[in-house]
Structure 1
Amino acid sequence: MCYKAIIFDLDNTLLNFDLCERKAILGTLEACAISLNLHGITETIFLQIYETYSSQYWRQRDVFTPNELIEMSYESTLTELNLKIEEISHLGEIFWEIFNHSSVLEPDVYKVLTVLARNYRLAVITNGFISAQLPRMQAAGIEHFFEAIVVSEAIGFAKPSPEIFYHALSKLNLTSAEVLYVGDSLKHDYAGATQVKMDFCYYNKKNQNLPQEAKPKFMINELLNLLDIFK
């Protein structure tokens, strides 16, 4: 293999997005002194309802600000569960403060990056907001590993758009053939990498069956397996 660089997805590849989000959702309730236990509501039920509304509202992210989307998600969830809070305008700020400083790493991330950085240039391509992605990497203590960090908000293109991949390649001054991309999403990561003819390593941590048309160059279910590929 003649790779000169490895580009990583961020959420659910290097950082565990689901756990970071869960921490922020529940942490916001705690900060507002809302006790689910006192109302006989489990965390699981609250999260299920919240995430249902959240997924609906985030489809309108071109219309509303991130704070507004979070506040709408809380308001609908609290209303459905008959929980009352006098003021919701600050919930978005609290949520982002917690979320943006969450640093739940996927297993063995630091070890893998430490080893790979000895011989390869490293970069990140991530969909999301600059105000969230960069602080989360800093909180996790991994930002120093990466020569380039490309965030969709900063350039106006998001995965799987090929433009965001070409932007990263231009920052590294490399061709697609010189780079391996590692990510957990066939829809965003694999589709985007394929469009620019970049080899793809599928981080399939849930051991899901691949659709017949998906043919990643490599597939791993643990990030440590990357070190076997680059022996």
Structure 2
Amino acid sequence: MKLNNIEHVFFDLDHTLWDFEKNSELAFKEIFEKQKIAIEIDEFLKVYSPINFRYWELYRNNSVSKEALRYGRLKESFDSLKFETEDATINEIAHEYIEYLPKNNHLLEGSLELLELFKNKYRLHIITNGFEEVQHKKMKSSGIHQYFETITTSEEAGVKKPHPGIFQTAMDKSGANIDRSVMIGDNLEADIIGAHKFGLQVIYLNSENNGEQRQFPQVQKLKELLDYL
């Protein structure tokens, strides 16, 4: 079912357009080789991924700081793997990860093709909880920065999705009419429920086909957005 009268399309970035999992794996591979960390990447990521997800939930709810997130997710992962390393090394890896991560440029399947189709049809924007100093670099290295009129980060807004304040900041920056705007993202709580409560139309990118929520329009692949837009 097509959404009518849409003029502004707001995207989340990580896990929605930018392939966070692939790019994160490449960053850790490079860092572990440099630091001589004797852990298989697949083994590390199996432990790290759910820990990282939990830390981002805590960060979104203001339960941990940015610094605590960067250190804690690594510390817990190494501890779970019974890999002993000094705090100084963990802090160094945390710093290098932020440096190396945005250098990788893999996008999710269909991202560029979709943006090419949308660029002359809609005004495009990003709303992200990612860190200010990293998100712009990610977009530039992956070649998608030029598609977006505005990029609103949680650090700029002072609040994180699903807080209405970040959506209001994005509206103010873009000059968008809420009734003519749609939010697309992969996180049901932060992107979809948050935007819906604010008053935006939403489309849930449910790549993993998790659960059976039927309240909101959803797609598994980016190309399926053409069914709605």
Q: Which amino acid aligns with 1:9?
A: D
8 Å CA contact 1:176, 1:197 repeated in 2:
yes
Residue of structure 2 in register with 1:70 after alignment: 70
8 Å CA contact 1:203, 1:222 repeated in 2:
yes
In the alignment of these two chains, the number of paired residues is 221
8 Å CA contact 1:100, 1:131 repeated in 2:
no
TM-score (norm 1): 0.84
The C-alpha deviation readout for 1:95-144, integer Å capped at 9, x for no partner, is: 11111222221101011001101111000100021111111111111010
Rg larger for: 1
- Structure 2 gap ranges (5+): none
Residue of structure 1 in register with 2:152 after alignment: 150
Alpha-carbon offset, residue 52 of structure 1: 5.5
The structure whose RCO (Cα within 8 Å, separation 6+) is larger is 2
Residue of structure 1 in register with 2:224 after alignment: 225
8 Å CA contact 2:124, 2:148 repeated in 1:
yes
- Write 1 or 2 for the structure with the bigger share of helix: 2
The reply to whether residue 181 of structure 1 matches residue 149 of structure 2 is no
Q: Which amino acid aligns with 1:43?
A: I
Q: Which amino acid aligns with 1:70?
A: R
* Pair 1:76–1:225, CA change in 2 (3 A): closer
Once the two structures are aligned, what percentage of the paired residues are identical? 26
Question: What is the rounded CA distance, in whole Å, between the counterparts of 1:65 and 1:171 in structure 2?
Answer: 25
Q: Which amino acid aligns with 1:106?
A: L
* Pair 1:179–1:49, CA change in 2 (3 A): same
State how 1:28-39 maps to structure 2 within 5 Å. 28-36=31-39
Alpha-carbon offset, residue 174 of structure 1: 2.0
Question: What is the rounded CA distance, in whole Å, between the counterparts of 2:228 and 2:136 in structure 1?
Answer: 28
CA RMSD of aligned residues (A): 2.4
State how 1:6-155 maps to structure 2 within 5 Å. 6-36=9-39, 42-51=40-49, 54=52, 59=58, 65-66=66-67, 69-78=69-78, 80-84=81-85, 87-88=88-89, 89-155=91-157
Q: Please point out which of 164, 167, 170 is paired with 1:165.
A: 167
Question: What is the rounded CA distance, in whole Å, between the counterparts of 2:190 and 2:166 in structure 1?
Answer: 11
TM-score (norm 2): 0.84
Local SS of the residue matching 1:224: helix
Q: Which amino acid aligns with 2:70?
A: I
* Pair 1:174–1:23, CA change in 2 (3 A): same
